[in-house]
Structure formats: structure tokens, C-alpha cells
Amino acid sequence: MSTLTDVWRSHLLSTLSGSSDGRPRWVDRIEEGSDAGFFGPGSASWAVHGGLATMVAGIRALLLQTLHPGAMAGVHDWSRYREDPLGRLSGTIQWLVTVTFADTATARRESARVGTFHQRVAGTYTDTTGAIHPYSAGDPNLLSWVHIVFTDSFLACHTLWGDPIPGGADAYVREWAQAGELVGVVDPPRSAAELTDALDAYRRDGILQYDERVAEAVRFIRNPPLRRSIMPAYRVMFAGAVASIPREYRELLGLRRSRLPVIAATGLVLGAVRRILGSSSTSEDAARRRIARLAEPASSR
């Protein structure tokens, strides 16, 4: 049993971090720096992004992101998700974790790295009326969509499967607005009510659509090329992610909520993952060591 657990642990850590020990090289930068970062211990962002519900939130965010034809065109035309899905995942995790736990200078550099990548992502897409529009990954409307979907998904999943958020949902949305601004989002939502209204505005305005590109991406997200031993747990989390999406967006995606108790089952899977991986986070631990070092008297450093 211990051997099986070790194999699962190694597979999970490799999938989530790109490193079999769960500590990719960029985590070392989190331990460095000269301030506590944008958020710090006790913040809503540390609570949400340090929890395992992020595993389901990532699936949910990817599903919803496909509904914007401009965002979907960028993924279809430029993303290497088919060839290297774990590489794309680890890149997203790197940005999320760095902005959450690193000092402010490192968080800004990481966001600038993402912005540099966005500069070369451009093309055209066809909207719901058949009109052709140019797009770029740095377009304020697309940046806003990705930020809103991301924030909504991580908040919704943590609410279902995580511990209480310090300061509540409004605190998380308000804090993570700073991360959106770092990558160019203009006037991001700063409360849970604003977040819901901003998400629904895309649907009310008829911007979102379902087409073959969306169907292809959803099929891929449903059945990614993960290790066979991980897929049963992934399928439960996928079903949980779908169940967490409001009905009107599930219908747009062509997905149905399972009749099985997938919310509870997802909680059980996350509990099992927690027992396998342990409760500590290498990134949060590195951040705490940085903050403890900064709190020491200068003479003892």
C-alpha cells in the first residue's frame, strides 16, 4: 500500500508542479525577496490558492474560458495544450502561485513574463453573428474574461470544498483584482456581486457561443492524457467541476450535471489527495520562511 501511495504521490506532484518532489525550481524564488508580497499570511488569496479545491477550479475555469470565441481562438491557434497539456498547466500554476506567495517584485516579474507571451498571440475570430473580429491575448476584453472566469471558478470551488475564507468572498475577489491588474485587466470586479454581474454580462450581451472548437476543447478537458492511475480521480473531479457551474453555462457548454452525488464524491477525492500529499504547501512554506527572515533583526541575519 505504501508503494502505491508513493507512486500516486509522485504522479500527482509531477502533474501539478512538473516536479516529482513537488518543488519546481521557481519555488526557490518565492523564498527570496524583500517584502511579504501582495497578500501574506491570513489573506483570502493564501487560503483559496493554498487549498486543494484549486484542482477542481482549474478544470472549471478551463471549461468556462472556452465559451468566449476570442479566447477560444487564441487557445486553438496558439496554445500547445494538445501536445503538452501538462506544460501549459504548470505554466499557469507558476503564475498563480508566484503572484500569491512571492514578494511583490517577483510577482510583478512573473506577470510581465506572462504579458510578454501575450504580445505575440493574435489573430481573428468569428462571433455569434458571423462577423469577423481581430483578437489579441492582451486585449482588455479578453483579459477581463479570463480573469473573471478564473476568479469565479476558484471562489466557487473553494466555497464548495474548502475552509472558510478570511474576510469572505468579497475579500478574495477584492484581493485577486490586484493580480488581474498586474497582467493588464482594467477595473476588475472587487466584490462577489460585481464578479457575478461581470460574468453574466458576457452571456447577456450574446458574446458567448458554442461551436466545434469549444466541443473539441471540452472533449480534451474531459479526457486529458493523464496517467491511467490518476484518471478515475480526475473523472470525479471533472464531474464535480461541471456540477459547480451554473445551469445556464452548463447548457452553453453542452454539459449535463451528473445525477450521482458528485459534489460529495469530489470532496472525498480531495480528502484522499490531501492524505497522500500532506497538508503542507512547498510554496506557502517558502513564503513563510521569507517572511520569518524579514522579521528577524538585521544583526541576526
Give the residue carrying C-alpha cell 454580462: 201
Decide: helix, strand or coil at residue 124: strand
Whether residue 77 contacts residue 122, with contact meaning beta carbons closer than 8 Å, is answered with no
CA 115 – CA 255 distance, rounded (Å)? 32
Long-range contacts of 201-204 (CB under 8 A, 24+ apart): 202/67, 202/68, 202/145, 202/148, 203/248, 203/249, 203/252
State mean pLDDT over 30-57.
94
The 10s digit of each residue's pLDDT in 199-211 is 999 999 998 999 8
- Taking Cα atoms as reference points, which of 245, 231, 90 lies closest to residue 157? 245
Residue 34 is classified by DSSP as: S
What 3-state class would DSSP assign to 227? Answer: coil
Domain boundaries, the chain: 2-295
Contact of 238 with 202, CB cutoff 8 Å: no
Among the listed ranges 85-89, 169-173, 292-296, which one has the minimum average pLDDT value?
Answer: 85-89
Q: Out of 63-67, 92-96, 106-110, 133-137, pick the least confident.
A: 133-137
Mean pLDDT of 99-112: 95
Q: Is the pLDDT of residue 21 over 60?
A: no
Mean pLDDT of 58-64: 93
For 123, phi then psi, to 5°, come to 170, -150
- Name the average pLDDT for the chain: 86
* Banded pLDDT at 1 (limits 50, 70, 90): very low
Read off the pLDDT band of 2 (50, 70, 90).
Answer: very low
Confidence of residue 301 (pLDDT cuts 50, 70, 90): low
Residue 126's SS3 state is: strand
pLDDT tier at 16, thresholds 50, 70, 90:
low
74 backbone dihedrals φ, ψ, rounded to 5°: -65, -40
Kind and range of the H or E run holding 122: strand 122-126
Q: What is the pLDDT of residue 280?
A: 65
**Model confidence pTM above 0.85:** yes
pLDDT band at 4 (very low <50, low <70, confident <90, very high): very low
pLDDT in tens, 226-243: 888 888 999 999 999 999
Mean pLDDT of 174-178: 98
Confidence of residue 83 (pLDDT cuts 50, 70, 90): low
Task: Report the pLDDT value the prediction gives residue 115, as an integer from 0 to 100.
Answer: 77
Give per-residue pLDDT as tens, 121-167: 777 777 777 788 777 767 888 899 999 999 999 999 999 999 999 99
pLDDT at 86 over 90: no
| Amino acid 225: pLDDT | 84
Amino acid present at 289: R
Report the alpha-carbon distance of residue 188 to residue 236 in Å, rounded.
32
Q: Is the dihedral of CA 226, 54, 236, 61 positive or negative?
A: negative
Q: Is the dihedral of CA 43, 48, 52, 54 positive or negative?
A: negative
> What CA–CA distance (Å, rounded) separates 28 from 196?
36
Least confident segment among 42-51, 54-63, 73-82, 272-281: 73-82
> How many other C-beta atoms are found inside a 10 Å radius of the C-beta of residue 142?
22
3-state secondary structure 150-204: HHHHHHHHHHHHCCCCCCHHHHHHHHHHHHHHHCCCCCCCCCHHHHHHHHHHHHH
